[in-house]
Structure 1
Amino acid sequence: MSVDRNARRPASESPWRVPVKDLVHSAGIQRTLRHTWPAPEQVGTPVLGVVAGEPVDVDIRLEAVHEGVLVTGTADLTLTGECSRCLDPIEAGHTADLQELFLAEPSPEDDEDQHLIVYETIDLEPVLRDAVVTALPFQPVCRPDCEGLCADCGVRLEDVPAGHAHERLDPRWAALADLVDREKTSTPETEER
């Protein structure tokens, strides 16, 4: 599919799409951007991420290089979610490191995961998403020493008294336990017959 890179882009675009007309084919030129933009949709995992629309402070440098535009910088944002052990809410600041080369022309060597300059703009949304998601823990916790929930009753282990435990009966012995219970409840009249 051929893309006309000189055509006008649609008027209503995300702030994460940055015009780079001044940098295309101008190796050595650079500029910086410092903005606060709303977080795009689906930045994170189902357990921890950035709420869509929340402010993200972006501080990046755009540098024209021979192949296209090199983007480096950071994005400061707030992660929200829940602890994978106790299910308490988590809210934490996070700084994502952003670095990506946007190519002026597609490279024939690598067809996948290429970021291209399209309509003289670059789209930083996937760059932010990749930087945040790859840095997130697989199982986030509210604190490293979080004890979690009791596997039997679901109560937070930090809220129960010391020695909290539940009697567990191996299901293979359940039939024997029923016999013992019947033996204890049987009356002397029953035993004589």
Structure 2
Amino acid sequence: MSTQRTPDRPDDNPWVFSTRELARRPGTQRTVSRTVPAPSGAEAIGLVGVIAVPGGSGVDLDISLESVTEGVYVSGTATASLEGECSRCLDPVTDDVEIRIGELFAYPDSVTEETTDADEIPRLVDERIDLTQTVRDAVVTDLPMAPLCTPDCPGLCSDCGERWADLPSDHGHETLDPRWEALEERLPSSEQR
């Protein structure tokens, strides 16, 4: 039994888009809306262990593919939900992110391809573009490096590790200067007097 692939979803990778119908005619354009599963593991979108798009969750892509002289210009938005933990109190954090995409994918043998390094600008491969890295880069630059559950999160007590938000306002810990410990052991406490 042979498997037929649609030109829009080659190799069954939902992050890959065919540009075949644009036929290298500058000005030709098409729009695509698609929900794709977020990659996981080393390929995850975000800052793994801090805040990221959960693997397998939906990423909504609303994009325009436009043929230009040097390649295909992709513009639009990517929307996803984020999960992570507060950098102060370690509580779970959820948020939504919508990022703008604007990326030129160079045609093979174009002047752009010949004059730029491979890691400077993405390329079309077999008339297809893969948006995974483009979306990943755009999301990461939009993420907070230290996500917070609330802007004024007080964090954790450095002595007992409890959340300040859950502790009474008079919470504190008596700390004794280690130089006085030996003296306290020799003197009777105020409770014994």
Which TM-score tier does this pair reach, normalised by the shorter chain? 0.7 to 0.9
What do residues 102-142 of structure 1 show as CA deviations (whole Å, max 9, x unaligned)? 00036233213320000110000001100111100010001
TM-aligned CA deviation for residue 11 of structure 1: 5.8
Determine if contact 2:74/2:103 at 8 Å carries over to the other structure: yes
Specify the alignment match of 1:181 in structure 2: 184
In 2: Cα distance, 1:37 partner to 1:107 partner: 28
TM-aligned CA deviation for residue 35 of structure 1: 1.1
- TM normalised by structure 1 equals 0.83
The structure with the largest alpha-carbon Rg is 1
Q: How does 1:98-137 map onto structure 2 within 5 Å?
A: 98-105=101-108, 107-111=113-117, 112-137=119-144
What do residues 60-94 of structure 1 show as CA deviations (whole Å, max 9, x unaligned)? 00000000000000011100111111111111111
TM-aligned CA deviation for residue 163 of structure 1: 2.1
Query: 1:76 aligns to what SS in structure 2?
Result: strand
What do residues 160-186 of structure 1 show as CA deviations (whole Å, max 9, x unaligned)? 11121122345xxx2x3233124315x
Unaligned runs of 5+ in 1: 1-7, 186-193
The CA RMSD measured in Å over matched residues stands at 1.9
In 1: Cα distance, 2:185 partner to 2:88 partner: 40
Q: How does 1:54-69 map onto structure 2 within 5 Å?
A: 54-69=57-72
Out of 66, 82, 86, the position equivalent to 1:83 is: 86
Are the structure 2 counterparts of residues 131 and 11 from structure 1 closer, same or farther at C-alpha, using a change threshold of 3 Å? closer
In 1: Cα distance, 2:102 partner to 2:39 partner: 18
Determine if contact 2:107/2:113 at 8 Å carries over to the other structure: no
Unaligned runs of 5+ in 2: 1-6, 189-193
Specify the alignment match of 1:49 in structure 2: 52
Specify the alignment match of 1:3 in structure 2: none
Query: 1:115 aligns to what SS in structure 2?
Result: coil
Are the structure 2 counterparts of residues 169 and 28 from structure 1 closer, same or farther at C-alpha, using a change threshold of 3 Å? same
- TM normalised by structure 2 equals 0.83
| Structure 1 counterpart of 2:27, one-letter code | G
Specify the alignment match of 2:3 in structure 1: none
Query: 2:161 aligns to what SS in structure 1?
Result: coil
| Structure 2 counterpart of 1:110, one-letter code | T
Determine if contact 1:50/1:77 at 8 Å carries over to the other structure: yes
Specify the alignment match of 1:15 in structure 2: 14
